[in-house]
Every structure is written in structure tokens, then in C-alpha cells.
Amino acid sequence: MTAGGFDFAHSEQAAKSRQDKATALARYIWERGIDGPELLALTDTVRRKLARAADITPPSSMETWTMAAELLDSKNAWASANPTHPSASPQHVDEKIMWVKPPIKPW
């Protein structure tokens, strides 16, 4: 709460800003073939770098990242149901390795 009694963090404007940021993040992240669980498994540092790579100021709360992960899950479900649609295939999956490292196989 601020001195004037208005709590911006829980206002409709703040909610819309979080939704807009989550949508922009999800668009960028989905194009790299990263799914919701992978996004949430990234460290805070990597998520911040990912946001900056998307030219987006990193979210200050986990709530925005969670919203982005939910959007990624929705897009993946839609893409699975519409595999022949031109928008159902990420265009920059080769960049996924920059963010999500594959597990190291033991010898």
C-alpha cells in the first residue's frame, strides 16, 4: 500500500501489464521451442537474460513467468491439435540450446 492507500501492484492496470508482458515473453520463448516446465525450471538469472534477449524488461515477480509458462502450455496444446497450421511450428528452435541445456549423459 502506498501512503495514499492505492496498491498499484494489485490494480487492474498492473494485472494488464503483467498479462501483456507474459504474452510477449511467451511469444518469444515459444519460437525457441521452450515449453512451460522448461521455462519454470530455468534459474532466475537465465530467465532474466531470456527476457532481455526478447527486448523485454525482466519481470519483477514469478507471477509473470508463471503466466508465460501457462501461455506456452496453451500454445503447445493448440499446435499439437493443429500440426499443419503455419503457426504451429516454432521458427527458432535452434536457439533453444542457448537457454535450455540438454541433460548430460553419463559415461
Q: How is the chain split among helix, strand and coil, in percent rounded to 5? A: 65, 0, 35
Which pLDDT score, from 0 to 100, does residue 36 have? Answer: 96
pLDDT reading at 11 higher than 80: no
Q: Is the pLDDT of residue 69 over 80?
A: yes
Q: What is the pTM of this model?
A: 0.84
Beta-carbon contacts of 21 under 8 Å, excluding residues fewer than 6 positions away, are: 56, 57, 59, 64
pLDDT digits 0-9 by tens, 29-54: 999 999 999 999 999 999 999 999 99
